[in-house]
Amino acid sequence: MQQTKQLLAIKEASIWASDFLKREISESNISYLVQYGKIKKHNGGNSVFVDVDDLQKYYESYNGNRELDWKKKLGNDLNWALSFDNLREKDTTKHVHRL
């Protein structure tokens, strides 16, 4: 049985993600995820759409699991406060490019 996809435009996806995560997710954040292949894009004429399930899976795998994965690799004495995990992708990229 084929499941019907719930597709959202970039703007709608940013609103959905903001509600889901309880923090601001901009349209640029969603575009970034599409551009770098983190979530699959679906073309619809002149617009780009994303599947809500893909978006939810991405954010569920991203939140909390990064810390656990790194602690598994490096040990529990890892200071997660230094990870920049609380910052937006835009801010971490800007910081790294300044180094």
Q: What are phi and psi of 43, to 5 degrees?
A: -85, 140
- 49: enclosing H helix or E strand: strand 47-51
Tell me the per-residue pLDDT of 64-89, one tens digit each, with 9 for 90 and over.
Answer: 677 777 788 888 888 877 777 766 66
Q: Is the dihedral of CA 80, 85, 91, 93 positive or negative?
A: positive
For 28, the token pair is 């640029």
- State the burial class of residue 13 (Cβ atoms within 10 Å of its Cβ: 0-12, 13-18, 19+): buried
**Looking at per-residue confidence, does 46 or 85 come out higher?**
46
Using an 8 Å Cβ cutoff, are 83 and 69 in contact?
no
Asked whether residue 1 carries a pLDDT value surpassing 70, the answer given is no
- 90: enclosing H helix or E strand: helix 89-98
